[in-house]
Amino acid sequence: MKKITFFTLLFLIVSCEDEKEGSNPFVGTWEMSSASGGIYLIVNKTQVLKMGATDGSIIATTYNNQNILDTYSMNELQINENMDGVFIDVRKFYNDNLSTGVEYYIRDYVSSLDNYDESRFYLGNMNEYYEFVNESGNFNYTLKVDSDGMYTLFVVQDTLYRQTFINFDNVIDSTRYVLVSGALKEVGTPIQAGAAFSMEDDIDLPSSLTLTLNDDSTGFVEEVFDDMRVSTSIRWFLYPDSTFGWNYCYTMNDCSEDGPIFNQYEINENSLVLGLYQDMCEEMGPYCDDMMNSTYGVEIGTTESYWAEINVAMERTENKKRLTSIETLKKKPRRESIFQKINRQKQIIHKSRGEK
């Protein structure tokens, strides 16, 4: 499973300009003392979920004039069987922002659509992108499924040729090709009825968080993930209904929509406890069952609860120098957060319903 970072959610900016100088208990510098949270599921029937674990690999070897260039191993598997045919995707990405990796897919349509059968292989990084194709339909694969609904894919030496675009035409270069073969099996994850189950095996909570809040609603946040330190200017807000949060800023007039919303907080002179709870199934309504089934293989009608929660404890420290302006920072891509994943899953449901 992908790592999930700590904060990002769409929200409205709320100004605190009406607060009198020094009267707001949030103003100051806060250091995180502890953090916990994640996405959780409870089902009413013991079963096995598809959480992305696999055994084995699909190997792709690239050639130029029969000379081996490189070899790639893929172990992320996604399979969709429907009335139109079998659609298989195997991939491996090598960094969190998905800019470097390889992907192999098979499109095996039902008999009336056989003319559209094909397999493709993609190879890319930050600077280069290559595509290989086999449109003959002569790929050789076997797909088996066990009693728990877990697939095993076998591929026997599929040959795909380099495809490039020259003078507005697709050109096939038979001297450059890739051979794909191997076996890859989905490994199920058991889940017990009635027990809260963490939906992520590697929640990426920050090891350190420093939050500086100024009385003019500006501020600064410093977050540490593993060995990566990210420092960003912010605008923070406070609702009277116990909602607190901030959005990340890059210039005085350019604050993004990324940032946390905590719908619970407790504060006294030197301690601040922030909490978030979001019922994801409640927002998805009757489509929650379908989403859980298609994404994780949860049996229809067995989802009891599906929610996200975060809890952060902070302590006040000696005030740092007050920020008088928002620093200009180079925009950097942020890793997918818990909240981005929530929104992405809801978008899948809306799309399936024909909604924007």
pTM of the predicted protein model? 0.68
Give the integer Cα–Cα distance in Å for 345 and 292: 9
Q: Which pair of structure tokens corresponds to residue 306?
A: 């599906």
Residue 248 has pLDDT above 80, yes or no: yes
**Banded model confidence at residue 77, pLDDT cuts 50, 70, 90:** very high
Give the integer Cα–Cα distance in Å for 239 and 232: 22
- Cβ within 8 Å of residue 65, ≥6 positions away: 175, 176
Give the integer Cα–Cα distance in Å for 242 and 223: 24
Q: Is 66 helix (H, G, I), strand (E, B) or coil?
A: coil
Q: Which pair of structure tokens corresponds to residue 315?
A: 């302590």
Which one is predicted more confidently, 152 or 351?
152
Q: Which pair of structure tokens corresponds to residue 343?
A: 């929104």
- Return the closest-CA partner of residue 54 out of 196, 125, 142, 152: 152
Q: What share of the chain is helix, strand, coil (3-state, %, to 5)?
A: 10, 55, 35
Which one is predicted more confidently, 51 or 255?
51
- Cβ within 8 Å of residue 77, ≥6 positions away: 54, 88, 89, 90, 151, 153, 184, 186
Q: Which pair of structure tokens corresponds to residue 142?
A: 């076997």
Pairing of the two strands 218-225 and 228-239: antiparallel
Burial tier of 170 (Cβ tally within 10 Å: 0-12, 13-18, 19+): exposed
Give the integer Cα–Cα distance in Å for 161 and 171: 10
Domain boundaries, the chain: 28-46+196-352, 54-187
pLDDT in tens, 286-329: 889 988 988 899 999 999 999 988 899 999 997 544 444 444 34
The backbone torsions φ and ψ at residue 7, rounded to the nearest 5 degrees and listed phi first, read -125, 130
Give the integer Cα–Cα distance in Å for 100 and 317: 41
Give the integer Cα–Cα distance in Å for 213 and 209: 13
Amino acid 197: pLDDT: 94
Q: Which residue has the tokens 């996200």?
A: 308
Most confident of 87-91, 213-217, 226-230: 87-91
For residues 145 and 153, is the Cβ–Cβ distance under 8 A? no
Amino acid 31: pLDDT: 96
Cβ-based neighbour number of residue 84 at 10 Å: 14
For residues 1 and 202, is the Cβ–Cβ distance under 8 A? yes
Q: Is 24 helix (H, G, I), strand (E, B) or coil?
A: coil
